[in-house]
Amino acid sequence: MQFPRKRQSDALKIRDDSPVYLTPEALQRLKERLIRLKEALPDYIAEAMRTAAYGDRSDNAEYKEAKSILRRTHRQILNIENQLKRAIIITSGRNAKGIIQLGSTVLLELNGIRNTFRILGPHETNPTKGVISHQSPIGSALMNHKEGDAITIQTANGTKEYRILKIS
């Protein structure tokens, strides 16, 4: 029994057209990764051609692996190029109005415990290091608030009230 195959053009289409918020450092890392992938591409192509010469491709595990790596690399290149087209640079710090925005670092207090969070786009989040997305529950609740404001967030463990101590 044969399964219908996806057309390659369908598999390579990238449907996301939302903005990609990145810091200048993350943008640079993405560009460097794209360069590394493009530099590695000729080696992957050569490997696929070398393993294709072994004979019957239907039973050639080395060829299938080489083609898989080549396809994955092509997908990653297309994905990164798409992200770079949609990239919006996040400027760090406090804006002129003193409100929380993408790139802000916020000192919060909850029940006497202070936590510092940096609010970035979803591509750069790392909650263990205090970097949260503007789309996360805390990040979205903090957006457009000022120092001294209290925000209430509904979590799985109940309602929590945070006080904004400092924005930088």
Where are the CATH 1.10.287.180 domain residues in the chain? 18-89
pLDDT given for residue 115 in this prediction: 93
Quote the pTM value. 0.77
Of the ranges 7-11, 54-58, 109-113, the best mean pLDDT one:
109-113
Q: What is the DSSP string of the chain?
A: --PPPPPHHHHH-----S-EEE-HHHHHHHHHHHHHHHHHHHHHHHHHHHHHTTS-GGG-HHHHHHHHHHHHHHHHHHHHHHHHHHEEEPPPS--TT-B--TT-EEEEEETTEEEEEEEE-GGG-BGGGTEEETTSHHHHHHTT-BTT-EEEEEETTEEEEEEEEEE-
Q: For 113-142, how does the pLDDT look when each residue is reduced to its tens digit (9 = 90+)?
A: 999 999 999 999 999 999 999 999 899 999
> Topology of 18-89 in CATH?
Helix Hairpins (1.10.287)
> Topology of 105-167 in CATH?
Chitinase A; domain 3 (3.10.50)
Structure-model confidence comparison of residues 11 and 69, the more confident one: 69
- The answer to whether residue 86 scores a pLDDT higher than 90 is yes
Where are the CATH 3.10.50.30 domain residues in the chain? 105-167
